[in-house]
Amino acid sequence: MTDSAPLLTFILPWPPTANNLYATGRSRKGAARRFLSTRGKAYAWAVAAVVASQAPRRRPLSGRLAVTIAALPPDKRVRDLDNLCKAVLDSLKKSGVFADDGQIDSLTIARHAVTPGGALLVGVREFEL
């Protein structure tokens, strides 16, 4: 495994909680379905704006990837770090950073100091065994 510098780095806003990321509704035929909530959509748009400003007009990365996330929570409440990943990775995919989050072979997340408003420092690099 190589440990090289990130190919792309982003400072992203703190994502909505896993409970607020998706909503449940009914299809026209009455079947239950899950969809991105208003908060989830707003977060995806915020990530897209960051990506557009920091890595404009890039083609999506197509190889195997390693993602590192430094989580700077907005306050001292207890949070499960693994719940942050879904919103972040899905939003980066929608923003065109990579073609699919199935490309990620290494995912590292660590909690750091409390930061007013919260933030995520995200690094994406090519991954080689």
CATH number at residue 45: 3.30.1330.70
Query: Is 3 a member of any domain?
Result: no
Secondary structure of residue 77 in the 3-state scheme = coil
Q: Say if 108 falls within a structural domain.
A: yes
Residue 35 lies in a domain: yes
Query: In the chain, what is the straight-line distance between the N-terminal and C-terminal CA atoms, in Å?
Result: 4
pLDDT band at 3 (very low <50, low <70, confident <90, very high): low
CA 34 to chain centre: 19
Cα angle 38-124-129, degrees, rounded to a multiple of 5? 130
Residue 1 domain-assigned? no
**Each residue's pLDDT tens digit, 42-100:** 999 999 999 999 877 778 998 999 999 999 999 999 989 988 898 999 999 999 999 99
Domain that includes residue 115, residue range: 8-126
Q: Do residues 69 and 82 make contact, with C-beta atoms less than 8 angstroms apart? A: no
Q: What pLDDT is stored for residue 19 in this prediction?
A: 73
Task: Provide the pLDDT for residue 20.
Answer: 73
CB 73 within 8 A of CB 114: yes
